Amino acid sequence: MKPAPFAYKKVHSLEEAVALLGEHDDARLLAGGQSLIATLNMRLSAPSLLIDINSVGGLGGVTHKNGKVEIGALVRHAEAERSELIAKYAPLIARALPHIGHTAIRNRGTLGGSIAFADPAAELPACLLALDGEIDATGPKGKRTIRAQDFFKGLFETALGPQDVLTAIRVPAAGKDTRTGFAELARRHGDYAIVGLAASARADGKKLSDVHLAFFGVGATPLRARKAEAALTNGNVDAAVAALDLAPQDDVQATGAVKKHLATVLLRRVANQLMEAR
């Protein structure tokens, strides 16, 4: 199918993007286009204007400062995969990136686009939640920072306002005691996951502390499994599985019951990763 007709404008500054979003109610920002163009082609959305932000300065690059790793919104998945800073200081994101689509998609798709799109089966929103990350956005009132736990509001719904541009994401830099775990089940490598789990923890002697388990593909947003986190902090994997209180709905990929079972399988795998010596 072909998209409905739309106008196209390439902008060179955040101010221009924010102003245009204010002038056109149904305009959409265009980053990598790997989700947006598909929805246009399937006529799931028909914006009158696409605002191309690829030439806006200051939205790229990966930096490590003040104990945090900051990733610009326009950093592409493939660029992030090659980043030594991300490999060293954001190892959970490094583990998740190869699971996103295929090479061609990772060459164009951006980290900012993935977080803003907030697909409930996407890897990066769950990573951000597991890492207690932050999102920077610029809108008509200037810049603000939103915690990941307050960002994902519902199905494809985020805390971004209609005139907001996501400019960067930030996660705490991993240290010597950081543990991460990641696993997903997809029909074929590169497909969206049926269920996935992104996890982070701190090694506390032989125990774990600060366990964060963020499941994806099991609800409208990525979800923390807080009772299972508490059980895993006590080192009891069976108790963590028993405490897993997810209630996934049926979807096109699997029934809720199958998803719940798969979530327990992933929890055991990821618990082993967290408990392994690094």
Ligand X SMILES: Cc1cc2nc3c(=O)[nH]c(=O)nc-3n(C[C@H](O)[C@H](O)[C@H](O)COP(=O)(O)OP(=O)(O)OC[C@H]3O[C@@H](n4cnc5c(N)ncnc54)[C@H](O)[C@@H]3O)c2cc1C
Query: Which residues of the shown chain bind ligand X in the complex (CB under 6 A)?
Result: 28-36, 38, 73, 100-101, 105, 109-110, 112-114, 116-117, 119, 122-124, 160, 165-166, 192
> Cα(18)–Cα(130) distance, rounded to whole angstroms?
30
In the bound state with ligand X, the residue whose beta carbon lies nearer, of 232 and 262, is 262
Closest CB to ligand X among 41 and 209? Answer: 41
Residue among 145 and 272 whose Cβ is closer to ligand X = 145
Q: How far is the CB of 34 from ligand X (least distance, A)?
A: 3
- C-beta of 63: minimal distance to ligand X in Å? 17
The smaller minimum CB distance to ligand X, of residues 5 and 205, is found at 5
Of residues 35 and 178, the one with the C-beta less far from ligand X = 35
CB of 140 to ligand X, least distance (A): 14
- Smallest gap from Cβ 234 to ligand X, in A, equals 32
Number of residue whose CB is nearest ligand X: 109
CB of 126 to ligand X, least distance (A): 9
